[in-house]
Structure 1
Amino acid sequence: MRDRTLSDRAYENILAKIVDGDIPVGGKLPTEQDLCNEFGISRPVLRQALKQLREDDVIVSRQGSGSFVKRRPEGAVRDFAPVGSIADIQRTFEFRAAIEGEAAFFAAQRRTDADLAEMRSALEELDRCIREGELGVAADEAFHVAICDAADNKYFAAARSSMQSNILTGMNLTRNLSLTKPQTRMKLVQSEHYRIFDAIKAADPEAARLAMRNHVENARKRIFEG
């Protein structure tokens, strides 16, 4: 657990250097030894942080040459995300992809007309939020909760509820970032919601699982779009 905490800190410190422009796009990160000395950590801990940055598509490693900045996330990330929270937000998205993907799978098998009506209501509220330039976190959350409820297994809802604070932090971040973009960004996110809904309505479990996992993974990646 201590190593994880240290690697999270290193991850966010390196990310801050990139966001602040200290290391430009295409620029090479300091050597592992220099980073270890700067942050007071071991190489295994640093490598965990670098691995996460590669998975986030922020850096790329080249055999024998080191690691280079692939893209610079917007400074707005640091405006909307609490200090020290980004690594945790990213792990929350991993959790959501797993739990909500399976919830969507079972929702497609077990949903009732009332469940579909709840999802539809949340989507219509999100449509309104997009038209009027509102954040829409409450409606977004309502849509995802309705899917967990439609899975008709209390443990999906319980697992998600246990992480609700983290989930809402991630939603606030991604939707705030989307509001800084042209409206097409919010419409893209909404099209992903409709893809999930359509698969559940069509009683296609595999398509529902895939649509949900893609949506959550896309949300994770959108945090670091430059």
Structure 2
Amino acid sequence: MAQDEKFSLASAVYEKILEAIIEGQYPVNKKLPTEAQLCQRYEVSRPVLRDALARLKEDELVVSRRGSGSFVIRQPDSAVLKFAPISSIADIQRCFEFRTNVEARAAYLAALRRTQEQLDQIRRCYDIIDEANARQDLATDEDYRFHLAITEAANNHYYITVMKSLNESIKEGMNLTRGLSLMASQERLQMVQYEHLAIVEAICDKDGERAEAAMRSHIDNARHRMFEGTQ
């Protein structure tokens, strides 16, 4: 089986198991069916199933217990499906995964290389998100422009090319996580903005390591907030 085909099949199985978890077919703290049963149910090979289960473990939805099998440890809020179809969830999660390293390094370089004009632009983008939050706007475009401004401040066109090429995928993830935050509480939105502020302050201070860590933490948190729903 070609690697691309295996990846695609694993994504499809990931989404089917995720949907079953969301719908309560596989309850929290209960054991999943055996690998043999899952392979038969979803008509895939063990390697494909194990790839799908590995992703569910990375997303902290499933855990393996030696000698006992795999157990569901978290049920995402069904509100997730209001902002993204189940068919796109795997791609959104993998996009967050990819962005973590790319944007964290871009933030590191931005702290070291940014001009005053670029720093001013990052601050403006931050303030615009603040204003959007006060209006309870979704602000997906504003959030994307904030992240793009930081990438541009890295002064390396390869990072900018990657960010722009992933424009739609990045916004899809932001639309989901920001939508859930709006449904949750003002505190959730403020927490996300505090994460943005930590990045801005590190870049302002020209502290590359702190900027890198702050960006990595922010994107990792966003990835996990995706399955926290509105709670």
Settle same-fold status: TM greater than 0.5: yes
Instruction: Determine the C-alpha separation between the residues in 1 that align with 2:77 and 2:183.
Output: 10
**Contact preservation (8 Å) 2:28, 2:74:** yes
Opposite residue 151 of structure 1, the aligned amino acid is A
- 1:21 matched to 2:24? The reply is yes
Q: Which residue of 2 is the match for residue 130 of structure 1? A: 133
Aligned to 1:58: 61
- How far off its partner does 1:77 sit? 1.1
SS of the residue 1:124 aligns to: helix
Does 1:221 find its partner at 2:224? yes
Superposed CA offset, 1:13-46 (max 9, x none):
0000000111111111111111100100011110
Indicate the residue corresponding to 1:147 in structure 2.
Answer: 150
Amino acid at match of 2:46: R
- CA separation of 1:175 and 1:121: change in aligned 2, threshold 3 A: same
1:178 paired to 2:181: yes
C-alpha separation in 2, matches of 1:163 and 1:142: 13
The C-alpha deviation readout for 1:30-63, integer Å capped at 9, x for no partner, is: 1111110010001111011111101101111111
SS in 2 for 1:134: coil
| 3-state secondary structure, aligned to 1:60 | strand
Separation (CA, whole Å) in 2 of partners of 1:83 and 1:15? 8
1:114-155 deviation line (CA, Å, top 9, x unaligned)? 111111111111111111111111111111011011111111
How do 1:92-131 and structure 2 match up within 5 A? Answer: 92-131=95-134
Give the Cα–Cα distance (whole angstroms) in 2 for the partners of residues 37 and 113 of structure 1: 59
Which stretch of the first structure deviates more once superposed, 196-205 or 114-123?
A: 114-123
The whole-number CA distance in structure 2 between the counterparts of 1:68 and 1:203 is 44
Q: Write the distance in 2 (CA, Å) between the matches of 1:22 and 1:139.
A: 38
Q: Deviations over 1:158-178 (max 9, x none)?
A: 011111111111110110111
Q: Residue 88 of structure 1 corresponds to which residue in structure 2?
A: 91
How many corresponding residue pairs?
226
Any idea what the Cα deviations from partners look like across 1:74-93, whole Å, max 9, x if unmatched?
Answer: 11111211341111111111
Structure 1 portions without partners, runs of 5+: none
Work out whether 1:160 is the aligned partner of 2:150: no
Aligned-residue RMSD, C-alpha: 0.9
4+ residue segments displaced more than 2 Å:
none
Question: Match of 2:64, SS?
Answer: strand
- For 1:2 and 1:54, how far apart are their aligned partners in 2? 21
TM-score by length of 2: 0.96
Matched-pair identity in %: 48
The 1-side partners of 2:94 and 2:62 are apart by 18
The separation in 2 between residues aligned to 1:18 and 1:51, in whole angstroms, is: 15
Q: Which amino acid aligns with 1:130?
A: N
- The amino acid of 1:108's aligned partner reads A
* In structure 1, C-alpha distance between the alignment counterparts of 2:136 and 2:190, rounded to whole Å: 11
- Residue 73 of structure 1 aligns with which residue? 76
